[in-house]
Amino acid sequence: MPVKEKKGVRLEHISKIYQDPKTKADFFAVRDVSLDIAPGSFVTLLGPSGCGKTTTLRMIAGFESPDEGEIFLGGEPINALTPNRRDTAMVFQSYALFPHYNVFDNVAYGLRLRKVPKDEIQRRVTDILKLVELSGMESRMTNQLSGGQQQRVALARALVVEPGVLLFDEPLSNLDAKLRVQMRTEIRRIQQILGITAIYVTHDQSEAMSISDQIILMKQGVVAQMGTPMEIYYHPVSEFVADFIGECSFLEGEVRKADGERVTLDIGGHEVYAECSRTPQVGETVKLVVRPEAIEIRDEGILPGKVELSCFMGSHQYYHVRVGDTLVKITDNCPRNKKIYQAGDTAYLSFQAECAHVL
Amino acid sequence: MSKRQSARLDRKKFFADPVMVITILILFLFLALFILYPLATLLVDSVLVRGTVLYSVEDYTSGDSWVFYNQEGQVATSDREAAFIRVYPAKEEGDPVYLPVYRSKGLFASQANVGETTGEMYLKVVNSRDRSVYLRMQDLLTVQEIPATYRKNSRLIKKMDGIEMTDICVQVSDNQWTVDAFPRIFRDYTFNRALRNTLLLGALTGFGSLLVGLLFAYVDVYVHVRSRVTKKLFDVVSVLPVVSPPFVLSLSMILLFGRAGLITRKLLGIYDSDIYGLWGIVIVQTLTFFPVVYLMLKGLLKNIDPSMEEAARDMGASRWHVFTTVTLPLMLPGLGNAFLVTFIESVADFANPMIIGGSYDTLATTIYLRITGGTYDINGASAMAVVLLALTLCLFLIQKYILEKKTAATLSGKASRARMLIEDRSVRYPLSLFCVLVSVFVVLMYIAVPFGALFKLWGRDYSLSTKWFEQMFREGGWKAFRDSFILSLIASPVTALLSMIISYLVVKKKFHGKAFIEFVSMLAMAVPGTVLGVGFIRGFAGGVFRTGFLQSIYGTGLILVIVFVVRSLPVGTRSGISALRQIDRSIEESAYDLGAGSGKVFTSVTLPLIKDSFFSGLVTTFVRSITAISAVILLVTPRYLLITCRINEYAEKGEYGVACAYATVLILITYAAILIMNAVVKRFGTSKNGSGNTREENS
């Protein structure tokens, strides 16, 4: 069941101003955001609460109006269109199922509004329920469904109208951890089968990483970075991005030598190689981002440090090691046959140059 | 930084939804026209003295019709030509004046003549649609504006001095602004007495209801009451006065404690019992209004966290000490709130002071008498209505915007766990006994009414007979029931739907003027029925702004229905708003997002979700309308008989048997309505099986 027409979404210099209810001062909830979302791609708006991701999504859906800029859907400007006239369908955080309808009527709601003939409604609803694996549940009331099933109904209800773009507003945050992982693979699977454009809002970085073609990381209404999950993980442009996506440690050092993307740093008197997407000045103090799983902890290595915490986590041993003034987090995978350091021990850390990224 | 673009886009989106725009416009019009406008008219009337100059009509003799003049000042040869009538100043010498005949809408008199039937004088007014209205002379005093023959401010009334036809004059208005009416009524002895009476009554009833209601609530929430019957009794008592017509308690009060009272005369042998007056009203009003206090305070007490009181007990405070230092201070704003609510109800109450008040006049009854009695003093009545309105409005604003917020602030939490109920006999017995006694008393009063209708002659002959019922049906009973029933039945779906729409707009939508809609629909709660009645008379008797527009609804059933709607709107809206606040905004948003316009969202999602509230609005309006009296008694015309007005009539005449017969049937009707509602809510409220799917599968 391919979607009739995939549509791209383009935001041009979108800003939204809100008023603080207490101080009565205006502030930017979203500030000068420009996006170009390709048809058929899965894009995630990621960020901490209050970063403007939901506001952006609601502006695309039409519930909010932008104060600056223009939104395009499939090339058409849609700023002045009401939500019911936009070719978008949204899956809500609370699912927002109609409690007075059963599963079938919930899913058929949008089709009935579009005056689709009865037999076609029957066919399309049956098809979509099969796709979300809810066949046979048509006559259940929504309150007789589990959280995951309700989520599927909400998804089916949005999908069945074959929208140009599908919007998700933190759809998995009401599910328990295990179900959340299962549902997000499910959502990704269905999105890829249908090839539909999807914009997904979440504050959970692992959800964003696992599901998206593109991640747009936002902070205080501004886009902090956008790119594929890999780009964002390995080449964060700021401390905020690096910190928000996955765990990491920041080591401060002085640039000794800069040779294109390869730089040599001096960290507490020790020479360290790293990668950098820009060319820093020699002598400049920079921050080095290293992921915990990229660091090896051994009896000999480049950076000496003092173990402050050592926890056995099953799949890995987790360490806090003090290097100079900074605390470095390390996950040592498969600790079964390795040396386990205890708090108080001295250890040496080392990492590959391509796994360390200079900001 | 500017929000101009989003404001512009929001406006565009708003106007892209014509259903909503039209609905809001209609609502604005309705609220402005039927709530604000009548009240504004009262304000104007109290400061605008419509002075008049008398002219006598030329060539006007008994049985003759008016002589009309055409544009050239010649005698008109046909009705179509008629443009002026000629009048002379009645007192001093002067030139005749030609007054234009206003007839463009065809609503107003184009002809009038005086005649006589069965010894009573009447004025026959024929409008240009050839519909004639006969006005009795006494009516002419009360319905002055009906032959509003002249343009705008000029109008015509008949001076009814005696039978002399030639004395009939045209009164042409000579309006002027003055603040004279207020000093005048404040110098007026009857007004001052009524104002004092009203305030005293309100305060006494407020305190009385507060005390009884508080005791009931305390016993219900704090005291272990073992007997199921007692609990049931509490429930019955708390519901009875809410659903019963307002004057039933007054009637039974007279039956039980009046001069021929069953208890006073028969049991106690008191022959000069006098319950007419302040104490009679206070008792009756207290019994009528305390259940409201009981329900309000019950909710509050349940929200007090028991651990606070246990902490106080733990530190060594006695139970009484805990009550005075913890419980009472916590609910003080709530008590104030409840007091004001009863105060407003008491001040606005019309029926009870009317029936049992005797010579104790309150503002509501004084205004009524000013308008219907011999002295037709519209300026005075309007000024009084303004005073009464100002009084209730102030209290309402204090109650709504200060006390309600404070109550919510101090007692918003939920009790963390169940309360240890008081088992102590020295507390349990006296308190429960008091409540049971009050309950039994109330129930007794309700039982007295049907018996009042069944006994042959109350006070003398206690044998059963159906003669009062027979008399009731003989004297227009059927018509009264039919009229009351039909008018209330029309009002109830209108109100229920309107209040649901208002709640939907207020809770879920953003638009300019939302505050206006919310405030005005709640405002009606603060407007005493009598004030609204006077406002409608002043506002619509001559048409809107005296232009004749909508004048045709005056004196019809439609205006009664509108009054019913306005009176019940706040109740329905309040319940709708609280029901809608429970519903997640995203449910409507998802329907909107899937392609439904506002109208479709409302009918397919919102309304089904709050149908309980809708049904209860339906029945509440029906019950309130069929038992309403204060506003409609001023507006009802002989074309419609209303049960409540009939009861008032018979009670005034002292024919309590017939009044009781009416009241009995009325109680049965309202009770049946509530039973039906409960059945309907049970049937549709709980079953959530959508019919749509089965239909789909079958096809």
Same domain, A235 and A251: no
Phi first, then psi: give them for residue B438, nearest 5 degrees: -60, -45
The pLDDT value recorded for residue B460 is 72
Do the chains contact at A82 and B689, CB–CB below 8 Å? no
Same domain, A160 and A283: no
Same domain, A303 and A210: no
Contacts of A114 in chain B (CB under 8 A): 595
Determine the Cα–Cα distance for residues A355 and A294; give it in Å rounded to an integer. Answer: 6
**Looking at the predicted structure, is the pLDDT value of residue A287 above 80?**
yes
3-state class percentages of chain A: helix first, strand second, coil last, to nearest 5: 30, 35, 35
Contacts of A94 in chain B (CB under 8 A): 584, 586-587
Least confident of B144-158, B464-478, B550-564: B144-158
**Looking at the predicted structure, is the pLDDT value of residue B143 above 90?**
no
Same domain, A88 and A225: yes
Tell me which DSSP letter residue A287 carries: E
Residue A84 carries which side chain, given as an amino acid letter?
N
Q: How far is B14 from chain A (nearest CA, A)?
A: 8
Q: How far is A11 from chain B (nearest CA, A)?
A: 15
Q: Name the token pair of A298.
A: 């051994």
CA nearest A59 in B: which residue? B6
**Looking at the predicted structure, is the pLDDT value of residue B135 above 70?**
no
Which CATH number fits the domain that encloses residue A291?
2.40.50.140
Torsion of CA B384, B388, B389, B393, to 10 degrees: 150
The percent of residues above 70 in pLDDT, for chain B, comes to 75
A65 → closest Cβ in B10, B584, B587: B10
Which CATH number fits the domain that encloses residue A103?
3.40.50.300
**Looking at the predicted structure, is the pLDDT value of residue B689 above 70?**
no
Same domain, A204 and A353: no
Torsion of CA B667, B670, B671, B676, to 10 degrees: 160
Do the chains contact at B688 and A141, CB–CB below 8 Å? yes
The percent of residues above 90 in pLDDT, for chain B, comes to 10
Q: Report residue A283's pLDDT band, with 50, 70 and 90 as the boundaries.
A: confident
- Contact status, residue B207 vs residue B423, Cβ threshold 8 Å: no
Contacts of B688 in chain A (CB under 8 A): 99-100, 141, 143
pLDDT tens digits, one per residue of B478-508: 888 999 999 999 999 999 999 999 999 988 8
Q: Report residue A225's pLDDT band, with 50, 70 and 90 as the boundaries.
A: very high
* Other residues' Cβ atoms within 10 Å of the Cβ of residue A333: 11
CA nearest B587 in A: which residue? A96
pLDDT tens digits, one per residue of B165-188: 233 344 444 455 666 667 777 777
**Looking at the predicted structure, is the pLDDT value of residue B686 above 70?**
no
The pLDDT value recorded for residue B131 is 44
Interface test with A, best of B20, B511, B593 (most A CBs within 10 A): B593
Q: How far is A20 from chain B (nearest CA, A)?
A: 14
The pLDDT value recorded for residue A224 is 92
CA nearest B600 in A: which residue? A113
**Looking at the predicted structure, is the pLDDT value of residue B126 above 50?**
no
Same domain, A298 and A186: no
Determine the Cα–Cα distance for residues B472 and B659; give it in Å rounded to an integer. Answer: 8
Domain boundary at A185, A215, A239, which? Answer: A239
The pLDDT value recorded for residue B690 is 36
**Looking at the predicted structure, is the pLDDT value of residue B152 above 90?**
no
Same domain, A184 and A53: yes
A3 within some domain: no
The pLDDT value recorded for residue A44 is 95
Do the chains contact at A82 and B16, CB–CB below 8 Å? yes
A84 → closest Cβ in B5, B592, B609: B592
B609 → closest Cβ in A62, A63, A100: A100
Same domain, A251 and A233: no
pLDDT tens digits, one per residue of B207-236: 999 999 999 888 888 888 777 788 788 878
**Looking at the predicted structure, is the pLDDT value of residue A277 above 70?**
yes
Q: Which domains does chain B have, with CATH numbers?
A: 17-41+474-687 (1.10.3720.10), 52-175 (no CATH), 184-458 (1.10.3720.10)
pLDDT tens digits, one per residue of B72-84: 667 766 655 655 5
Least confident of A38-42, A184-188, B120-124: B120-124
pLDDT tens digits, one per residue of A299-343: 888 888 899 999 988 888 899 999 888 889 998 888 888 888 888
A156 within some domain: yes
Same domain, A93 and A196: yes
Interface test with B, best of A58, A109, A126 (most B CBs within 10 A): A109
**Looking at the predicted structure, is the pLDDT value of residue B440 above 90?**
no
pLDDT tens digits, one per residue of B394-417: 988 888 888 777 777 666 556 566
Taking all residues of chain B, what is their mean pLDDT, rounded to a whole number?
A: 76
Helix, strand or coil for residue B342?
A: helix
- Contact status, residue B385 vs residue B185, Cβ threshold 8 Å: no
- Contact status, residue A100 vs residue B678, Cβ threshold 8 Å: no
The pLDDT value recorded for residue B578 is 87
- B3 or B547: which leads in pLDDT: B3
Terminal CA-CA length for chain A: 45
Domain boundary at A184, A212, A239, which? Answer: A239
The pLDDT value recorded for residue B411 is 61
Least confident of A237-241, B62-66, B582-586: B62-66
Q: Name the token pair of B430.
A: 């006296």
Do the chains contact at A94 and B586, CB–CB below 8 Å? yes
Contacts of A61 in chain B (CB under 8 A): 593
CA nearest A162 in B: which residue? B594
Do the chains contact at B595 and A93, CB–CB below 8 Å? no
pLDDT tens digits, one per residue of B240-296: 776 777 778 888 888 888 777 777 777 777 677 777 888 889 999 998 888 889 888
Q: How far is B519 from chain A (nearest CA, A)?
A: 21
- Contact status, residue B162 vs residue B111, Cβ threshold 8 Å: no
A148 within some domain: yes
- B164 or B527: which leads in pLDDT: B527
Q: Report residue A36's pLDDT band, with 50, 70 and 90 as the boundaries.
A: very high
CA nearest A161 in B: which residue? B594
**Looking at the predicted structure, is the pLDDT value of residue A259 above 90?**
no
Complex ipTM value: 0.84
* Other residues' Cβ atoms within 10 Å of the Cβ of residue B494: 17
B586 → closest Cβ in A17, A92, A121: A92
Work out how many domains chain A is built from and give that number: 2
A1 within some domain: no
Phi first, then psi: give them for residue B549, nearest 5 degrees: -65, 130
Same domain, A225 and A290: no
The pLDDT value recorded for residue B499 is 92
**Looking at the predicted structure, is the pLDDT value of residue B88 above 60?**
no
| Residue A253: closest CA among A289, A210, A228, A211 | A289
The pLDDT value recorded for residue B115 is 46
The pLDDT value recorded for residue B548 is 67
pLDDT tens digits, one per residue of B606-657: 998 888 888 888 888 898 898 888 888 888 877 888 888 888 888 888 888 8
Do the chains contact at B689 and A79, CB–CB below 8 Å? no
Most confident of A231-240, B10-19, B94-103, B369-378: A231-240
A16 within some domain: yes
- Contact status, residue B219 vs residue B437, Cβ threshold 8 Å: no
Tell me which DSSP letter residue A175 carries: S
Torsion sign, CA atoms B144, B145, B149, B154: positive
**Looking at the predicted structure, is the pLDDT value of residue B113 above 80?**
no
CA nearest A104 in B: which residue? B693
Residue B54 carries which side chain, given as an amino acid letter?
L
A62 within some domain: yes
Interface test with B, best of A24, A60, A65 (most B CBs within 10 A): A65
CB pairs under 8 A between A and B: 131
Same domain, A223 and A291: no
Do the chains contact at A82 and B13, CB–CB below 8 Å? yes
The pLDDT value recorded for residue B565 is 93
Tell me which residue has tokens 């009447």: B122
**Interface residues of chain B, partner chain A, Cβ below 8 Å:** 1-7, 9-10, 12-13, 16-17, 584, 586-587, 589-597, 600, 604-605, 608-609, 688-690, 692-694, 696-697, 699
Domain boundary at A210, A239, A268, which? Answer: A239
The pLDDT value recorded for residue B111 is 45
Tell me which DSSP letter residue B296 carries: H
Q: Which helix H or strand E contains B694, and what residues bound it?
A: helix B692-698
Helix, strand or coil for residue B102?
A: coil
The pLDDT value recorded for residue B403 is 79
- Give the mean model confidence (pLDDT) for residues A265-293: 85
Contacts of B609 in chain A (CB under 8 A): 99-100
pLDDT tens digits, one per residue of A80-122: 888 888 889 999 988 889 988 999 999 999 999 989 999 999 9
Determine the Cα–Cα distance for residues B643 and B629; give it in Å rounded to an integer. Answer: 9
**Looking at the predicted structure, is the pLDDT value of residue B418 above 80?**
no
Interface test with B, best of A84, A85, A153 (most B CBs within 10 A): A84
What Cα–Cα distance (Å) separates residue B116 from each residue in B126, B137, B162, B166, B386? 16, 10, 13, 15, 39
Same domain, A218 and A265: no
A223 within some domain: yes
Do the chains contact at B13 and A62, CB–CB below 8 Å? yes
Q: In what order do the strands lie in the sheet with A165-169?
A: A88-91, A165-169, A197-202, A42-46, A214-219, A222-227
The pLDDT value recorded for residue A208 is 92
The pLDDT value recorded for residue B64 is 44
- A2 or B566: which leads in pLDDT: B566
pLDDT tens digits, one per residue of A148-158: 899 999 999 99
B693 → closest Cβ in A68, A96, A139: A139
| Residue A60: closest CA among A332, A43, A49 | A43
The pLDDT value recorded for residue B595 is 87
Domain of A279 in residue numbering reads as: 247-358
Residue B165 carries which side chain, given as an amino acid letter?
M
A2 within some domain: no
Phi first, then psi: give them for residue B247, nearest 5 degrees: -100, 5
- Contact status, residue A238 vs residue A225, Cβ threshold 8 Å: yes
The pLDDT value recorded for residue B83 is 55
- B203 or B89: which leads in pLDDT: B203
CA nearest B2 in A: which residue? A67
The pLDDT value recorded for residue B473 is 82
Which residues are paired to A10 by β-bridges? A36, A72
CA nearest A27 in B: which residue? B1
Q: How far is B15 from chain A (nearest CA, A)?
A: 10
CA nearest B684 in A: which residue? A100
Which residues have CB under 8 Å from A204's CB, separation 6+?
Answer: A172, A173, A180
pLDDT tens digits, one per residue of B531-572: 898 888 888 877 777 666 777 777 788 889 999 999 899 888
Residue B193 carries which side chain, given as an amino acid letter?
R
The pLDDT value recorded for residue B226 is 72
**Looking at the predicted structure, is the pLDDT value of residue B61 above 50?**
no
